[in-house]
Structure 1
Amino acid sequence: MQPSSPWAMTPLAEFDPGEFAAWQELLETRSGLVVEAQRRTYLQTMLGARLRELGLHSYAEYRRQLGEGPRGAFEWACLMDRLTVQETRFFRHPPSFACVAAHLRALGSAADAGRAWQLWSVGCASGEEAYALALLAAEAQQAAGLPTRFGVTGSDLSRTALERARCGRYRPERLGGLSAVLRQRHFAALTDGDWQVRDALRQRCCFVQLNVLDLEQAPQGGMDVIFCQNLLIYFRRWRRREVLARLVERLRPGGLLVIGVGEMGDWHHPQLQAVADNQVLAFTRKG
């Protein structure tokens, strides 16, 4: 919706400390997102732009609208798209993906290697991470002489990001971590310079909208790999532990959990064994 000129010129109500606190509470309660005091101006700017688009006068009015049934749910999704960082690229943290590749190679020589592997990208944004996991699984199964039997789930809160992920189309700079051989094998060059994930890989990936605060409702389970990076940084430490504990429940015995280096360095879980690599923060489930 485009505002008329009078709406666009009308100053918004003040974003006072009380209003900021109300937004902090709302965002953390519904999404786990923590907005620190130093990001108050950023939040005000993002909210103010949306208020003007909708022709609303106050931040409180917008807050109320977010709780109004289906309309509020749609608007909440729009707000999350604006407030969460969705910029990423393939193999963003190479040591973490090298850890996954090593795990999959070992899986390829296991006694039950022929079963279908399940991998999960938690907070997948526009899909680069999920497709990178799919690429590694495809390469590992091919190297082991196994039939192609795996599935990758990518989950995110942002509907806009998920739409881009399902398209599987990327600018060349997003593929910077890929070798020329892998790029040609798993991507098709388009006439405008973009690269399209080939169907053989794209059809192995499923993208779903999921709030990590609702993991108890998620159907995922028995995962061989769970990859969760650059998501926990938005949460308080107690909530990070809570999310990680739920992810552990969804790992199969021997499964690999990879999180961002520095996101939870002092965290331990009785069912996990830390991977002996100081370049990554990864764990395998015991049993």
Structure 2
Amino acid sequence: MAATRNDQATASGSWSLRQLPDMDEAQFNQWQTLLEHRTGITLVAERKSFLETNLGIRMREIGCGSYQAYYEKVVSSPDAIVEWSTLVDRLTVQETRFFRDPDACRLVSDYVLTRPREVLRRRPLEAWSVGCSSGEEPYTLAMLLNESMEQLRLPPLFGVTGSDISKPAIERAQRGLFNARKLLGMDDALKSRYFRPAEQNSVKIIAGIRERVCFTRLNVLDLKHAPMHGMNIIFCQNLLIYFRRWRRREIVKHLAERLAPGGLLVLGQGELTDWQPPELQRVPSEKVLAWIRRQSDEE
């Protein structure tokens, strides 16, 4: 019996190291269509190797021998929903970091510092990070808002929402725990103020900031049903590049509808061109792509 188990282990080990066959065009089109239908993300032909690599890693983890068998598992097996959630996390979570876009961060700070103080005293600021991945961006927004409120000598009346399609990413973000390398390049004063050492060379966001940030799973294809309304700041950077041009405009249209009068919408540079709805005013900047929602005379 022991010899049989060893033979099985050897066979299993050799299978896990075996190279998967190349994905043919029909298989790639099948996966391409599924991903765009469910997430809106367009996977161009140049990223076929990216898809093969990530599918292959997951297939080896669960012992699945062909792209077609794994496709059927994701689409129609009893655990399809769980497996799809795992796969989406592998295909969509991108590298991010704190204070990733310094120019956009300065714009947010300036936006808060120039708002009427009586408005900031009367109504909490609401910010939203769309496609928040593992949480660096929404926590960055929370730190920026906290710093601005302190500069204005006002109580920290604000909240930040982070949303992402990936459930595992949201769960990581909620923990507020990060590898210490994530803080490289950050201002030392901000590091010491907002982070505390944790286990195994990691750091944790302080409770005062973590408590002001909430996270939710949200597919941007479902924005018209999103409960967020009256947002003062909407941050959506490095997300639209994965969508077709017509869908980018559709996504941004729904985001603009969720801005409060006078609210700020910030996108990534170059992610949208020739878009100027009448209800928004472009922020005059060569370094940041952003708009302010116009206020009517009675607002």
Q: Which has the larger radius of gyration?
A: 2
* 2:120 corresponds to which of 101, 106, 113: 113
The alpha-carbon deviation at position 81 of structure 1 amounts to: 1.3
Q: Which moved more, 1:253-262 or 1:86-95?
A: 86-95
CA deviation digits over 1:189-225, x for unaligned, max 9?
3364432110000000001111111111211110000
Identity percentage over the alignment? 46
Alpha-carbon spacing, 1:112–1:159, altered in 2? closer, same or farther (3 Å): same
Match status 1:168 vs 2:176: yes
Q: 1:63-74 maps to which residues of 2 (within 5 A)? A: 63-68=71-76, 71-74=79-82
CA deviation digits over 1:90-120, x for unaligned, max 9?
111100111111111122x343111111000
Q: Would you say the 8 A contact 2:93–2:169 is kept in 1? A: no
Match of 2:130 in 1: 122
The alpha-carbon deviation at position 238 of structure 1 amounts to: 0.6
Q: Which runs of 5+ in 2 are unaligned?
A: 1-8
Match of 1:15 in 2: 23
Q: Which runs of 5+ in 1 are unaligned?
A: none
Following TM superposition, the consecutive aligned residue runs of length 4 or more in structure 1 with deviations greater than 4 angstroms are 9-14
Partner Cα distance (1:192, 1:25) in 2: 41
TM-score of the superposed pair, with normalisation by structure 2: 0.89
Q: 1:198-277 maps to which residues of 2 (within 5 A)? A: 198-277=206-285
Match status 1:189 vs 2:197: yes
Q: Would you say the 8 A contact 2:120–2:157 is kept in 1? A: no
Match of 1:31 in 2: 39
* 1:133 corresponds to which of 141, 151, 159: 141
* Secondary structure, counterpart of 2:118 in structure 1: coil
The alpha-carbon deviation at position 176 of structure 1 amounts to: 3.3
Alpha-carbon spacing, 1:59–1:181, altered in 2? closer, same or farther (3 Å): same
TM-score of the superposed pair, with normalisation by structure 1: 0.93
Match status 1:91 vs 2:121: no
Match of 2:68 in 1: 60
CA RMSD, aligned part only? 2.0
Q: Would you say the 8 A contact 1:86–1:161 is kept in 2? A: no
The alpha-carbon deviation at position 177 of structure 1 amounts to: 4.6
Partner Cα distance (1:12, 1:191) in 2: 38
Q: Would you say the 8 A contact 1:138–1:148 is kept in 2? A: yes
Partner Cα distance (2:126, 2:19) in 1: 52
Size of the alignment, in residue pairs? 285
CA deviation digits over 1:137-194, x for unaligned, max 9?
1111222222221110001111222122111122333223532222222221336443
What amino acid is aligned across from residue 261 of structure 1 in structure 2? Q
The alpha-carbon deviation at position 13 of structure 1 amounts to: 5.7
Q: Would you say the 8 A contact 1:122–1:226 is kept in 2? A: yes
Alpha-carbon spacing, 1:10–1:189, altered in 2? closer, same or farther (3 Å): closer
